[in-house]
Every structure is written in C-alpha cells, then in structure tokens.
Amino acid sequence: MEEETEEVVEATNDVRIKYVGNSCFYITFADGTRLVTDPYGSTYESYFGEFPVMEADVLTISHSHSDHISGIKVTTGEPQIIRPSQLNEAITVGDVKITGYASNHVAELGDNTIFVYEEGDIKIVHMGETDIIESPEAREAIKDADVLLTYAGEYGTIKNPDNFKSLEDLNVKVMIPQHYSMDANNRFYEQPTVDEILAELPEGTVVNTANELIVTKDLEKQFLVLTKN
C-alpha cells in the first residue's frame, strides 16, 4: 500500500503581490501560502484580459457578484474558499491570519467584506467593492496597513478624490487601485481607467508602477499601479 503524503508548500521568504485584473490579486506569503482574491474568470476577459490558471491554497470572496466569483472553479490546488458568511471570527491558513469586516457594496448593491491578511508584522487589506468604511472596527483594523488594495471604480456615490483623502487618514503605506477599466474604449460599467484615476490623486502623491510588489516594512508611502502580468 502506498503511503499518503501531505503536499508541502515551500516557503518563499517574501510576501509578493501580483495584479490579475478587476479585484483579483495573486498573493504569495512568506510561508508559501498562495492566496487569490475575487477571481473574475474567463467570462470577463474582454474587460480585464486573460484569466490565468492559478494554483492557490485559499480564495477570499468579498461578495457574490459574478465578476468576483466566476473564476472559482478555474483556480487549481483545491483551495479553501472563504466567503463572507464564514467570517464570524478570524481564520488562519498556514501562518496567515484572515479577518473579515462587513461593509456595504458601492451604490447600495448589497453587502461586501473587507479582508485583512496578516503574516507576522505584515498587514495587507483588500477592500473588495467598498468605498466608505463605515465600521469603526474596520477603520481601526485597516490603520497602518502596509498595503491597501483599494476600490477605485467610482461606481458609488463617493468619488476617488474624497475616497483617497479619507484613506490618507489611516496611514496606509502603499495604495494599489483595483476594479477599474483596462481600456477607455471598452469600459466596465463606465469605470475610470488608470490614467483617469491618477489624475484624481491628492497633490504631491508619490506614484510608481511595477509588475509585482515585494512587501517589506520599509516601503515608502506611495500609490502603486501594478501592471497586469
């Protein structure tokens, strides 16, 4: 009889973030845990580009709209799926602590969950599709985050200049926009493009572009556009 063995995920020693499109990111933590957020799937490739096959240990779903869940079955590796209904308390996957905070979806289109991912002293926050952070508990949890994956689609009542200004008060080091149109000629629900988002940033904001972010505690304060790989 063959002896069953558990799959061992190798540690990477770095926390790395790549942008897939829409609200979907691929995050690899230092212990090797691979996390995918809000997989949009092939249904929305005309707006956000190819949805790659990704192997993951955990999926987090901010809400159940199809552009945030259609890629669940495409993601390989038999990942643990964390939905809003499961988050009465923090969940730990590997060395990563995942905590969810209830929020309202922009434009009053239902509920949304803000996810906080923590490994050691690194804290990453995924806003899903919310702009106004109404919960004092959520605001406190987001404060001093190393990275904030922030909604920038302007589909709600609050527009980006006011949203970005409110997030400044939370002392976040790196803000990365998500849920925006990739092409001005093929807009997703009339959402802005990156160039339009950059024009709305507070004066003096440091702006950088990269195809991947390696998260460290000594990151400079900046607005970072992650290009789609």
pLDDT tens per residue across span 158-207: 888 988 988 888 999 999 999 999 999 999 999 999 999 999 999 999 99
Supply the CATH number for residue 78's domain. 3.60.15.10
The mean per-residue pLDDT over the stretch 75-89 comes to 84
Q: How far is CA 228 from CA 22, 36, 89, 191, in A?
A: 10, 14, 33, 17
Q: What is the pLDDT of residue 86?
A: 63
CA dist 55 → 27, 39, 41, 72, 223 (Å): 11, 12, 14, 11, 28
**Per the domain annotation, does 5 fall within a domain?**
no
What's the one-letter identity of residue 89? E
Quote the domain boundaries for residue 214: 15-226
pLDDT at 4 over 50: no
CA distance 177 to 40: 16
Domain count, the chain: 1
Q: Confirm whether 54 is domain-assigned.
A: yes
CA distances from 132 to 87, 126, 157, 165, 206 (A): 20, 14, 9, 11, 23
